[in-house]
Amino acid sequence: MGLRKFKPVTPGTRFRVGASFTEITATKPEKSLVVSSKKSGGRNNTGKMTMRYMGGGHKKSYRLIDFKRDKFDIPAVVATIEYDPNRTARIALLNYADGEKRYIIAPEGLQVGQTVLSGDKATPEVGNTLKLANIPLGSIIHNLELHPGKGAQLARSAGAYAQLAARDGKYATIKMPSGEVRSILVTCLATIGTVSNSDHANEVLGKAGRSRWIGRRPRTRPVAMNPVDHPMGGGEGRSSGGHPRSRNGVLAKGFKTRSKKKYSNRFIIEKRKK
């Protein structure tokens, strides 16, 4: 899982840094685990634009990912490591002993032919899924549940990981990728290891066209807008635009938007680093 620098044969490849894809072992996905996906273009069900700067992009099909890992005590062999256009991480196809096939998010270091297991009988090895109660303290984990049985919600993007810091009664203390320290029930599942494709953060698109292939349209700077379009718009010449804020007037650069009455505040031991 490395990076590839391109020769500057065109302006678009001069600064481009892309993934090498050396870890990919299959180019076509498993048909039974693929469904069609429809692009919204940033529009809602009435056709009104609710998200700006979205649209276009290459057609994608969605791979069904198993975030629950609820086939307990049934061993599975890693058949392939594949590219997924819908996420930054790589995915792995598992062939279970009972014949079922499922995709999971591939952790760093997972190899084709390796056997993975989920449940209380699993050992704390890369790719195995266990309850937080059974994972050794200090372990690096990903695909972390917030509610037992709901499926993984935390540490799912490329290179992300959390750390199991402590256990106290029915709660485990987890250090999150953001630096936040919070409590999660020890009955929640987590997978051992770090999410694959950690070099994703160092990729450089190289040209505007690659953003369009992804489905991102050009973003207009608020200071370039008129006063009717944005609170930071208007002014004579290149004026600064005033205090940084959103289109709705919500201040940026440190203004807290989290509700003081949010139910999960009591589970947060230490807030994330600024």
Say how far apart CA 204 and CA 221 lie, in whole Å: 21
Say how far apart CA 220 and CA 52 lie, in whole Å: 10
Say how far apart CA 225 and CA 234 lie, in whole Å: 6
Q: Calculate mean pLDDT across residues 26-30.
A: 96
Say how far apart CA 91 and CA 29 lie, in whole Å: 10
Joined together, the tokens standing for residue 248 give 């709705």
Tens digit of each residue's pLDDT (9 = 90 or more) over 156-168: 999 999 999 999 9
Instruction: State the distance between the two ends of the chain, measured CA to CA, in whole angstroms.
Output: 30
Q: Calculate mean pLDDT across residues 2-23.
A: 95
Q: What is the pLDDT of residue 165?
A: 97
For CATH 2.30.30.30, the residue range(s) in the chain are 3-38+58-201
Q: Calculate mean pLDDT across residues 106-114.
A: 97
Tens digit of each residue's pLDDT (9 = 90 or more) over 54-69: 999 999 999 999 999 9
Name the fold adopted by 225-268.
Ribosomal protein L2; domain 3 (4.10.950)
pLDDT confidence tier of residue 273, bands split at 50, 70 and 90: confident
Q: Under CATH, which number does the domain 3-38+58-201 receive?
A: 2.30.30.30
For CATH 4.10.950.10, the residue range(s) in the chain are 225-268
Say how far apart CA 47 and CA 150 lie, in whole Å: 32
Phi/psi for 165 (5° steps) reads -90, -40
Q: Calculate mean pLDDT across residues 92-120.
A: 97
Q: What is the 3-state secondary structure (H, E, C) of the chain?
A: CCEEECCCCCHHHHCCEEECCCCCCCCCCCHHHEEECCCCCCECCCCCECCCCECCCCCCEEECECCCCCCCCCCEEEEEEECCCCCCCCEEEEEECCCCEEEEECECCCCCCCEECECCCCCCCCCCEEEHHHCCCCCEEECEECCCCCCEEECCCCCCCEEEEEEECCEEEEECCCCCEEEEECCCEEEECCECCHHHHHCECCCHHHHHHHCECCCCCHHHCCCCCCCCCCCCCCCCCCCCECCCCCECCCCCCCCCCCHHHHHEEECCCC
Percent of the chain scoring above 90 in pLDDT: 96
Mean pLDDT of the chain: 96
Q: Residue 182 pLDDT > 70, yes or no?
A: yes
Q: Residue 116 pLDDT > 90, yes or no?
A: yes
Phi/psi for 192 (5° steps) reads -75, 135
Q: What is the pLDDT of residue 2?
A: 86
Q: What is the pLDDT of residue 1?
A: 64
Q: What is the pLDDT of residue 269?
A: 96
Phi/psi for 211 (5° steps) reads -65, -40
Q: What is the pLDDT of residue 157?
A: 97
Q: Calculate mean pLDDT across residues 46-59.
A: 96
Tens digit of each residue's pLDDT (9 = 90 or more) over 187-244: 999 999 999 999 999 999 999 999 999 999 999 999 999 999 999 999 999 898 899 9
